[in-house]
């Protein structure tokens, strides 16, 4: 028991820190080569917070545990809104940018609805390569929007993310260490998740929705709280919304191309309904108030706690 939990903690730590090193090194290399901030922001930073989820999902598909992959995405998107944003809002009021409300949130909701409808159209469904093409096509549309309309936002986020530009030699070393970290971390994480589920006779779906999802959402949680404390909350909601879009379109898209994602839809019906609910609620609050207050944070956190209790009793 101890070694399984220890391996899980080490795996997630390597996964998260490895992603941080990889992004840090890749950003420095790109900027040292004279690549524009826009391209760097789109290709590296924008995907950076989704790297842990991507690696964990891909490895789970390769190892034949596709339920962990889908659970990870659903659980991470829930945690991003109802945990990360909620805790940040409890610390301080978060203002929301107009573009986030008018374009990015509706796109997140559309992506979530498409994802849910594809899963719920049959009692036992397999997401195949052609479904992956659908998700990745939506991803291309979203990237086009970012390039066309969100140049300033991307460069602002890049400035906030970059801790410092390293020498090329150090940057290359960071990339190598980062790749090693996420590879080993992802392997350890999935292996010990499966062992933990077997030991306590839990479903892989439950473990993926809770432990893996929260663990891989830790970067978003840290960024959320840090941003609010630093007074940079205005770009926080956009980061969370973007991360949720990438989680569905990029991670499910790539995972579906690697292998068929076989799922028992009955295990996900309530979860999909809740993740759509919090997405709709976030959009409505943003339209009506243009900000998230402590009351909103309390509402989202309460929903998340009730959801976790529900799936814990569901088993």
- Residue that is written with structure tokens 């709709």 in the block: 280
User: CA nearest 44: which of 13, 21, 17, 77?
Assistant: 21
Q: Is 123's pLDDT higher than 70?
A: no
* Distance of alpha carbon 172 from the chain centroid: 25
Q: What is the dihedral of CA 26, 31, 35, 41, to 10 degrees?
A: 60
Cβ within 8 Å of residue 33, ≥6 positions away: none
pLDDT tens profile 45-73: 556 667 777 777 787 787 777 777 788 88
Give the Cα separation of 49 and 234 in Å (integer): 18
Domain spans, the chain: 2-314
Q: Are 238 and 94 in contact (CB under 8 A)?
A: no
pLDDT of residue 16: 74
Q: Is 177's pLDDT higher than 80?
A: yes
3-class secondary structure, 34: coil
pLDDT of residue 34: 65
pLDDT of residue 206: 72
Give the Cα separation of 46 and 296 in Å (integer): 26
pLDDT of residue 110: 92
Nearest-10 crossing angle of helices 66-79, 105-120: 150
The CATH fold of domain 2-314: A middle domain of Talin 1 (1.20.1420)
Q: Which of 37-51, 96-110, 174-188 is most confident? A: 96-110
Q: Are 129 and 171 in contact (CB under 8 A)?
A: no
pLDDT tens profile 152-163: 555 555 555 555
């Amino acid at each position: 028991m101890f070694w399984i939990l220890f391996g899980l903690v080490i795996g997630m730590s390597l996964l998260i820190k490895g992603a941080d090193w990889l992004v840090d090194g890749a950003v420095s290399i790109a900027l040292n080569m004279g690549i524009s901030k826009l391209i760097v922001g789109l290709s590296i930073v924008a995907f950076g917070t989704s790297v842990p989820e991507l690696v964990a999902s891909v490895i789970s598909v390769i190892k034949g545990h596709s339920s962990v992959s889908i659970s990870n995405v659903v659980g991470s998107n829930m945690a991003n809104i109802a945990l990360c944003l909620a805790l940040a809002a409890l610390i301080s009021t978060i203002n929301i940018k107009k573009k986030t409300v008018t374009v990015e949130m509706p796109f997140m909701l559309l992506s979530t609805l498409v994802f849910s409808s594809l899963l719920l159209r049959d009692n036992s469904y397999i997401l195949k390569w052609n479904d992956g093409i659908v998700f990745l096509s939506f991803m291309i549309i979203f990237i086009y929007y970012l390039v066309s309309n969100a140049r300033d936002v991307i460069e602002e986020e890049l400035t906030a993310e970059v801790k410092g530009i390293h020498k090329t030699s150090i940057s290359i070393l960071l990339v190598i260490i980062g790749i090693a970290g996420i590879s080993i971390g992802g392997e350890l994480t999935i292996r010990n998740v499966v062992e933990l589920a077997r030991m306590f006779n839990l479903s892989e779906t439950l473990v993926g929705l809770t432990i893996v999802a929260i663990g891989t959402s830790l970067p978003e949680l840290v960024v959320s709280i840090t941003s609010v404390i630093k007074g940079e909350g205005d770009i926080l909601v956009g980061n969370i919304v973007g991360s949720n879009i990438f989680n569905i379109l990029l991670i499910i898209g790539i995972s579906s191309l690697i292998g068929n994602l076989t799922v028992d839809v009955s295990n996900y019906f309530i979860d999909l309904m809740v993740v759509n609910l919090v997405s709709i609620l976030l959009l409505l609050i943003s339209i009506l108030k243009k900000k998230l207050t402590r009351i909103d944070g309390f509402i989202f956190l309460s929903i998340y706690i009730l959801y976790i209790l529900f799936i814990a009793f569901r088993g």
